[in-house]
Structure 1
Amino acid sequence: MLVRWTAVLLLLLLVPCQSEAADAWVVVIVGGPEIVVPVASVTDEGVPLVDAAALAGALDLTIVPASGYMLVRDGRGGEWRAVDGSSSLNEVAGAGGSIPSFVRIRDAALHLPLSTIARLAHKQLLLDPVGRAYLLPGPSTAADRHSETAPPGWESFTVEKTLAEKQEAERLDESPGQVPRPELREVLPARHESMQVQLGVGSAAGADWAGEIDATGTIGGYRTSGLLFATVGAQGVEYRNATLLVQPSKQAWALQTGDLLSEARGIGRGVRFSWGLNSRWHQRVSMERSRDEFASPAGVASYGAELAVSSAVMAAGETASDGSLFLKGRYGQGSATLDGFWRRGGARGVT
């Protein structure tokens, strides 16, 4: 049933509350500033992948673009070479070896896991599951502890303890009343959860009413977002669009219900489970029913997948139990993107 609208007046009422953006993290540099950085993605270990340039200035890091790679230099003179798609930062000079790390370069921006950036800056990394990261001063070395300048004419030296002396020192350190306390608790208290809600109300003069609710936030440690759009008229209340998405903070999987978009079958209503969101191989399974009144009322099961073959090539596909099939390929280089797809509709055999 189509609702005819002659003139619609929308009034958006914003309920102010504290919110947490799912695509940005707050990086707290202990002894330094707090920096909000956009997150490109999250690794399988739950470590955010961010633009290293956003933190370079505060961490005494230098990033120099070069032909086919980017050069990273720390404050101690160490240098590494970063190549897009590589699994490590390769040592160039005085770096003490290569650093295993996922490397992504997009639009002249170097994206690295926060754990890699912490290692480059000689910091310790602590992650708060609700979108905050802490960079603590790294452990001091023997060279740092004995770097005082000796008086003129004197020479500084270090006498190593014997094994027995070291064992005795460890025994004394573990004695009652001398419990070591960490500089910062590694198990951080959970922050107050929040939900941002937008309400919309509309009416056509002498005709129907419409309402919309859009909510985004965190519930029980899970990122949650929902949308509901309904109309009220002569036919009563009709739900035009409704969807709910739930996923953990690491974004390894997602559960979605309500109105779903299928590239093979169009819009339907049902439930979908997706996994592998942090890797190059994304997969999903769905059970849905078409919203088309002329389509079969029976439910349809479908499976879809997306594979990032390389930084420039992507392949995707979807197949359903009613015979629907969708194939897609994409090639991107710089700001140019080329897409190609093929689709076969199961109900009508449309290709």
Structure 2
Amino acid sequence: MGPHLLLNITSIGPAMGVVPEVTDSGFKIRSADGTVWEWWQGNPALESGNRILPMPIPPIKQGPNIYIDSETIALLTGLHMDVDRTSQRIQFSTPNLGSDAPGEREITLDGWHTFTMAKTRPKAVSSGDQQTSRRLPMSVPASHDRLDISLGIGYVQDLDWGIHLGASGKIWSGDTNMTALITHGDNGARLHNSHLRWLDRESGRGIEAGDLYSESWGLVRGVRYTWSANGRWPYIGAYAKTNATSNPEALVVYRDKVGLGPNLVVQGEMGTDESIYTSLSWGKDPFQVFAFRRHLPSDLGCAEGAYATWLLTPEVSLFYGYTSSVSADGAEGSFKTIGIRVPFIGKSSLAIEKTEHTQNGASSKSKSIGLTMPVANTANLYIRYQENEIAFASAKVLGLESTGNNLMTCLSIFASPRVHLDYQISRFSQDGRASEQQQLITSYRLSDHTSLQTISGFPNIADRNLLRLRLEHQFGDGICLLLDYGRLSPYQSAADVRGKRGFMVMLRRTWPTWVPARGGEVSGIVLDQLGQPLEGIAVRLANYTTLTDAKGHYSFRCVPSGRYPLSIASESIPADYKVDSSTVDLDIARDSRITHDFSIVPLGCILGRVYLDRNENGKYDVGEGISGIAVCANEIVTSSRKDGSFAFNNLEPGRYGLRIAAEALPARYVVVDDSTISVDLKPRESITGIEFALANRDKRVIIAPVEWRTEEQ
């Protein structure tokens, strides 16, 4: 419902320590703690032995891809999830309520649409927006934090009801996420998947409550508090174990993570029931290693394992994994996997994997090879062949051995930005019995607000037993409608729902709410050199910009913590002014109250003339102006105009020495008085009457006698 989003666990699972596997009737998932969960079509939950993990919305098996709601993924991986619907962003981080410590695991997904992850395209800028962007934009820190609250109501035909409550955003500058599912059916009213998280990274504290993940016990219900300590985020929690015994048992745990050097991280969790979990992760290109050990009280078993990857080249990688466990009844189990991924033809890749799983004397082995190949620019081809061998504990006595193989081919076609097709054909063979299944999954983007997905058999797409439809429409005012038709998946576990078909409808409404924000404050006054306030001057604090008022005052309130440059936007200053100070860097905390004033200096000018004193009367006469003569005012240089006038504009107040640049003076001229003229320029002052007289340089005329000769001579 509201915050529930379907993600491709096949694609993102390996990065989270989760291994999914498609089966004939559904799929299996090995979670981060080594537990193998199974799902089959029509089942509303994941199951592992006598353990049940309900899912708020049904998953989708699309070819080799498995789509599961984001909250179930968070529970399977033991990662925390943050959903930002405004920027369409999902972030998973390690369950210590922070990701600042060395070695923290963090996965971020940007952009989404129904059932298919996609990068959000940038909004096109219109010509009008481009014109606006040339003007100085005004922006200040948000005075209120936004918290989106959602309410969803769902009904599964003839089965049960579900109500979802959710919230995401910020409260008192802390990241906030809340979700809870209330169901009503044959089992009465039940509360599922309830979770509340609040984290304030600046103050270094946070709290979580509801259904949580424990490194030792997996899914638990309780509360925990975390704090920042020298870059680490340890926590202490109080849990009620509900998955190990029929009666809840109180438990207090402490968890911490320590970085031992740049590449080694050690993590541990200890409980008052003597449960201990330790893990070690080491990574240095091209190797990555992770190992763990889980020790529970003597009557509940233990588990240990290790995973390693070796990146031989950017395209070739090896991986290996091993886990072993002892259950409460003493049954031993193990899981091994080894594989390699190599480039094949063009941009295609080949993955080869071998796995072995043993439990209670029974064993299963599989060998698989998978090929992923892009076809042109609009399609992807995936082919996977797997051989299976299963032996039960009494196989030698009763002959209970089973062998088989399956071949899966999936072709994904992106027909257009609005249409996506997935065609899958699977052939199965088990103990000599063969079967084949074909399936077509089509996603349509009917409009910017409506999407439709169909799942059907092929070529008989009208087969009612295989047909499934899902329609989603976004109304205005934050209202969304989701309508499903096909095999029913109730909110609560039902005795038998296989084969039942009908409708499921969900209606969701989201309301934005606003909570006063917290943050630092920076303020000041912008004055000229005479102490007069200046209005309309733009002041910048990093990416924030504001204007001074009639009293020259500016302020930034609710500034998030950090280091910010504070300056005057030069493009907002009149041409005859200049800032009398440079940019300053400010360290701002939540309780900071910083005052910084700016001085804007009014500029002045010096005007004068250069002339050729032809009549030697010591003053300028009309027509005597000379152009192109270089004049200096300290280090500033200008040249005279056609009428001999020159000007130095927008000068800062101060002392200036004016002179003719003798080194650039044409050789035919000489300065009558080559001394420097000194002036003191005041703010807003214009100094005039500066004149430089030139004279023609004297030229000597030499007359030499000439000897004439005639022809007669």
Q: Using structure 1 for the length normalisation, give the TM-score.
A: 0.45
Q: Which has the higher strand share?
A: 2
Larger of the two Rg values belongs to structure: 2
Q: Using structure 2 for the length normalisation, give the TM-score.
A: 0.23
Q: Which has the higher contact order (CA 8 A, sep 6+)?
A: 1
